[in-house]
């Protein structure tokens, strides 16, 4: 006779009903142990490794605990054995989920009260809640072949990086912080976050360094074949060749950034190929430790080819991370490239990951099919004309954030008129980037740049030459409001939506080639927010754009800071131990701008010799208003006597180009004789 197969939902109901019936009928003794065994047998591997599977194990464990708690005499030993076995089974499922499906592990947790009660009887057989306090950090991972990317979050504590997993939406929304406290479960090398207290949030600004020194470590996995590349080949590929990473950085930065370094290896990593990037990095840094003085380098690039399908071809730590080496504790920004074809197909992945090492997020684009921009109707994609998607210069907004395009080459437009921009690739002194405010009461801008097939933008595939990328200004959008992406990037907009480079209609929102001809062509106009843009003329020397405003836009300006009074003194002979000073910070934004966030920082030369405490490190200031920061300064042991000037900075949290400084003259006299003096 035909018997219908129970559905998954029916099986789940059955597994939950059975123990309840057993308890109700009062035959819990041997039946409970039988139920636990039955549950283990009947649960399929797929169902077991899921939220529902964990919940089933919770039910079985609590049932076994109840039976053990009421048992006595000879039956208690057997009940204790069953309880321990139930705990081990539940622990195995929980730990597997933490590694594979952390969100399921979160949703299937026992209550804190249940955990505490069970831990009293089971000890380490129950993973117990704990907390960690440290620095919040993340790593970019990238699959450059599939144009996909993501982030992995870490907490850095006691010179160790521990990966944090849990609710992806919560983790992705947290920005790097000076200090966070994470509560949850430490399972091997993963921390399942139940709650996160972000105490001192800061925005990581791109690092506008003029020079960086890179240690390239070539590592070989134990189960991979030896590679034929030599250190000399890798050196030319990364550092010295005409198409190297260093050459791209030099050209894109207008020679403002020099990337130098050395190549080391091959080193045996003493482990088989793995997708755990942090394990690989630690192994590579340890393998090369005797050969490298890590204190002499700012960055590390690990090349460790393998053939695993890890879902990424490279990743970057984005910001410096702590490492313990033979040279002591060091901070290094680390990139890791895993593709086995990197040396044959080109160094695009290396440029991509080392650009993250500079502190840059991706260059993104909105593909909105028939619209230029619709907040809820667009697909997020890599911008095609950037080193994050091909062999190109960095975008204008990224160059501005890195300080490669300074104020003399960036023009903020506040009046209607016609404006000229030169090709972004050339090192001439003309304007390369227009910053156009388009929001009445929002921090919202369009950035206009003009590209030509010059240098690294003269790519082998001819995208700029042949696919419409040089037909007018490329236009990026930047907005900060409740709908803005959490990465604070600028996004390329397609000003010829739904049309391909050859004039044919796009096949749909997944048609990546629709973005190649994103510029606003000559003779055409578009309105975006308060601004109407029209491309007047285009030539190899530049483009002219007419901009008309329909209202008064919100324009962010650099904040100003001043000490009142501008000098202070401390004389220990009078009994003083510290001195207090006040810095006033003013927001000069125009129009109906919302409040701006401003980060204030003391001079590193001052913090080297003085303990600096303040009532705030970040201010929210309304347009046209002034706020105050109070500093208490206490000299450290051995601080030199005399008078010196120190420079404090006030910087727009989201726009590092909007920065100013305030000078404080500080005079110090110690009560102790024979003190060192400051040489001005």
**146 has pLDDT over 60:** yes
Indicate the DSSP class of residue 505. B
Percent of the chain with pLDDT over 90: 50
Position 137 confidence tier, pLDDT thresholds 50, 70, 90: confident
Tell me whether strands 525-528 and 531-539 are parallel, antiparallel or unpaired. antiparallel
Q: Cα–Cα distance between 608 and 55 in angstroms, integer?
A: 54
Give CA 493 to chain center in angstroms: 23
Mean pLDDT, residues 266-279: 89
Per-residue pLDDT, 388: 87
Per-residue pLDDT, 342: 55
Residue in the block written with tokens 């054995």: 81
Strand partners, 448: 434, 475
How many residues are there in the chain? 680
Q: Cα–Cα distance between 131 and 196 in angstroms, integer?
A: 9
Tokens of 528: 């975006």
**114-130 exposure pattern, b = at least 16 Cβ within 10 A, e = fewer:** ebebbbeebeebbbebe
Cβ 320 vs Cβ 360: under 8 Å: no
Per-residue pLDDT, 23: 42
Per-residue pLDDT, 512: 61
Indicate the DSSP class of residue 23. H
> Max Cα separation, the chain?
104
Position 13 confidence tier, pLDDT thresholds 50, 70, 90: very low
Lowest mean pLDDT among 157-166, 280-289, 478-487, 554-563: 478-487
Residue in the block written with tokens 């009928």: 25
Indicate the DSSP class of residue 506. P
Q: Give pLDDT tens digits for 386-395.
A: 998 888 999 9
430-435: long-range contacts, CB 8 A cutoff, minimum separation 24: 430/542, 432/396, 432/399, 432/405, 433/396, 433/397, 433/399, 433/400, 433/405, 433/409, 434/410, 434/473, 434/545, 434/547, 435/410, 435/411
Tokens of 471: 């037909």
A 10 A CB-CB count for 250 gives: 15
Per-residue pLDDT, 147: 64
Percent of the chain with pLDDT over 70: 83
Mean pLDDT value across the chain: 84
Tokens of 309: 């399908």
**537 has pLDDT over 70:** yes
Lowest mean pLDDT among 44-48, 309-313, 363-367, 649-653: 44-48
DSSP helix, strand, coil percent of the chain (3-state; round to 5): 30, 35, 40
Per-residue pLDDT, 510: 53
Lowest mean pLDDT among 85-99, 166-180, 568-582, 658-672: 166-180
Strand partners, 143: 148
Q: Give pLDDT tens digits for 223-247.
A: 987 777 889 999 998 999 998 999 9
Tokens of 598: 């401003």
**341 has pLDDT over 60:** no
DSSP characters for 85-152? Answer: HHHHHHHHHHHHHHHH-HHHHHHTPPPHHHHHHHHHHHGGGS---EEEEEEEEEEEEEETTTTEEEEE
A 10 A CB-CB count for 378 gives: 19
φ, ψ of residue 395 to 5 degrees: the values are -70, 160
Mean pLDDT, residues 147-158: 77
Cβ 140 vs Cβ 149: under 8 Å: yes
Lowest mean pLDDT among 30-39, 374-383, 597-606: 30-39
Q: Is 5 helix (H, G, I), strand (E, B) or coil?
A: coil
* Beta strand spans in 199-298 (E): 211-220, 258-268
Give CA 562 to chain center in angstroms: 33
Per-residue pLDDT, 408: 87
Q: Give pLDDT tens digits for 454-511.
A: 999 987 667 777 777 788 999 999 886 544 444 557 899 999 887 665 666 665 545 5
Position 525 confidence tier, pLDDT thresholds 50, 70, 90: very high
Can you give the three-state secondary structure of 292-312, one letter per residue? Answer: CCHHHCCEEEEECCCCCCCCC
**290: exposed, middle or buried (Cβ count in 10 Å: 0-12, 13-18, 19+):** exposed
Q: Cα–Cα distance between 116 and 1 in angstroms, integer?
A: 50
Per-residue pLDDT, 31: 45
Q: Give pLDDT tens digits for 367-382.
A: 887 788 877 778 888 8
Lowest mean pLDDT among 28-37, 262-271, 450-459, 638-647: 28-37
Q: Cα–Cα distance between 648 and 666 in angstroms, integer?
A: 12
Q: Give pLDDT tens digits for 183-221.
A: 999 998 899 999 888 765 445 555 566 899 999 999 999
Per-residue pLDDT, 464: 77
Q: Which residue from 304, 206, 298, 317 is spatially nearest to 259, judged by alpha carbons? A: 298
Cβ 602 vs Cβ 648: under 8 Å: yes
Tokens of 479: 């907005």
Cβ 454 vs Cβ 494: under 8 Å: no
Mean pLDDT, residues 305-318: 83
């Amino acid at each position: 006779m035909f018997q219908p197969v129970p559905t998954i939902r029916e099986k789940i109901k059955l597994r939950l009903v059975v123990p309840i019936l057993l308890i109700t009928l009062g035959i819990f003794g041997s039946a409970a142990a039988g139920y636990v065994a039955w549950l283990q047998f009947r649960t399929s591997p797929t169902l077991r490794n899921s939220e529902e599977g964990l919940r089933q194990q919770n039910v079985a464990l609590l049932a076994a605990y109840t039976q053990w708690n009421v048992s006595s005499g000879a039956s208690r030993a057997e009940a204790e054995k069953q309880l321990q076995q139930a705990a081990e089974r539940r622990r195995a499922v929980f730990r597997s989920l933490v590694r594979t499906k952390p969100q399921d592990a979160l949703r299937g947790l026992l209550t804190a009260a249940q955990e505490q009660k069970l831990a009293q009887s089971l000890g380490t057989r129950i993973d117990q809640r704990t907390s960690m306090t440290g620095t919040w950090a993340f790593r970019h991972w990238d699959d450059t072949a599939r144009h996909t990317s993501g982030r992995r979050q870490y907490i850095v504590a006691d010179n160790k990086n521990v990966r944090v997993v849990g609710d992806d939406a919560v983790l992705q929304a947290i920005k790097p912080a000076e200090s966070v406290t994470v509560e949850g479960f430490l399972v091997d090398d993963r921390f399942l976050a139940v709650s996160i207290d972000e105490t001192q949030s800061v925005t990581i600004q791109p690092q506008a360094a003029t020079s960086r020194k890179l240690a390239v470590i070539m590592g070989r996995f134990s189960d991979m074949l030896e590679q034929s590349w030599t250190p000399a080949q890798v050196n030319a590929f990364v550092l010295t060749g005409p198409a190297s990473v260093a050459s791209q950085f030099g050209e894109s930065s207008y020679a403002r950034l020099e990337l130098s370094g050395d190549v080391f290896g091959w080193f045996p990593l003493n482990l088989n190929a793995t997708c755990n990037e942090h394990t690989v990095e630690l192994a590579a840094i340890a393998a090369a430790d005797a050969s490298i003085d890590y204190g002499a380098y700012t960055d590390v690039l690990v090349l460790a080819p393998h053939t695993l399908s890890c879902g990424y071809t490279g990743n970057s730590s984005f910001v410096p991370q702590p490492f313990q080496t033979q040279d002591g504790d060091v901070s290094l920004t680390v990139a890791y490239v895993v593709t086995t074809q990197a040396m044959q197909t080109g160094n695009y992945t290396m440029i991509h990951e080392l650009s993250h090492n500079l502190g840059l997020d991706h260059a993104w684009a909105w593909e909105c099919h028939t619209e230029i921009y619709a907040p809820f109707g667009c697909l997020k994609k890599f911008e095609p004309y950037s080193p994050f998607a091909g062999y190109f210069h960095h975008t204008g907004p990224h160059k501005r954030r890195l300080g490669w395009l300074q104020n003399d080459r960036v023009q903020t437009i506040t009046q209607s008129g016609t404006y000229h921009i030169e090709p972004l690739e050339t090192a001439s002194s003309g304007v390369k980037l227009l910053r156009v405010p388009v929001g009445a009461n929002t921090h919202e801008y369009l950035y206009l740049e003009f590209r030509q097939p010059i240098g690294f933008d003269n790519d082998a595939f001819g995208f700029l030459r042949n696919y419409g990328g040089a037909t007018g200004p490329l236009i990026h959008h930047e907005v900060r409001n409740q709908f803005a992406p959490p990465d604070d990037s600028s996004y390329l907009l397609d000003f010829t939506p739904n049309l391909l480079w050859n004039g044919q209609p796009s096949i749909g929102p997944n048609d990546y080639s629709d973005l190649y001809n994103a510029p606003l062509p000559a003779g055409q106009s578009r309105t975006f927010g308060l601004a109407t843009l029209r491309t007047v003329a285009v030539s190899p020397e530049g483009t002219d754009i007419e901009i008309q405003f329909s209202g008064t836009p919100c324009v962010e300006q650099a904040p100003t800071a001043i000490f009142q009074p501008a000098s202070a003194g401390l004389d220990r002979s009078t009994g003083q131990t510290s001195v207090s000073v006040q810095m006033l910070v003013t927001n000069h934004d125009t129009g109906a701008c919302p409040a701006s966030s401003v980060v204030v920082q003391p001079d590193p030369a001052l913090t080297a010799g003085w303990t600096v405490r303040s009532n705030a490190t970040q201010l929210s200031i309304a347009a046209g208003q002034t706020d105050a920061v109070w500093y208490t300064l206490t000299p450290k042991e051995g601080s030199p006597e005399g008078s010196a000037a120190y420079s404090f900075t006030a910087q727009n949290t989201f726009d590092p180009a909007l920065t100013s400084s305030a000078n404080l003259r500080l005079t110090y006299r110690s009560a102790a004789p024979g003190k060192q003096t400051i040489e001005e």
